[in-house]
Amino acid sequence: MKHAILILSDPKGGEEALGRAFNALAFAADAEKAGDEVQVLFAGAGTRWPAELTKLGHPAAKLYQAVRPLVKGASCGCSEVFGAKKEVEACGVPLLREHKLEGTSGLASVRALVTEGFTPWIF
């Protein structure tokens, strides 16, 4: 199986948003352990998560580090819109620009993932 796990929840959204991100990362770990191909992507307000998840003491920091090799990247255009581009870069998360869309610097392409056989999961 091939999974594309997209985290769109905003870390400013409180416990519910944390629950979404935590469960996305837990799903990634579970799927990888089962031998599935997994990619984790951050898009929308979710591009703010890498900076949060790398903070010492964050409740999901250890889980994030465990699945960090599965992180494909963060949508470049989204990271710009949501003010997270510098933080994404500082965390070493690649900026994704496959979807060339006028008025943006490029976005992550969910369509490309689907054509590659990935099932998208939105958190």
Q: For the chain, where are the E strands, in sequence order?
A: 2-7, 37-42, 71-75, 95-96, 119-122
Render pLDDT for 15-34 as a digit per residue (tens, 0 to 9): 999 999 999 999 999 999 99
Q: Which CATH number fits domain 2-122: 1.10.287, 1.10.3470, 3.40.1260, 3.40.720?
A: 3.40.1260
Render pLDDT for 60-79 as a digit per residue (tens, 0 to 9): 999 999 999 999 999 999 99
Contacts of residue 86, defined as CB under 8 A and 6 or more positions apart, other chains included, come to: none
Tell me the whole-structure pTM to 2 decimals.
Answer: 0.95
Q: What is the C-alpha to C-alpha distance for residues 57 and 24, in angstroms, rounded to an integer?
A: 19
Structure tokens belonging to residue 16: 């519910």
Domain ranges of the chain: 2-122
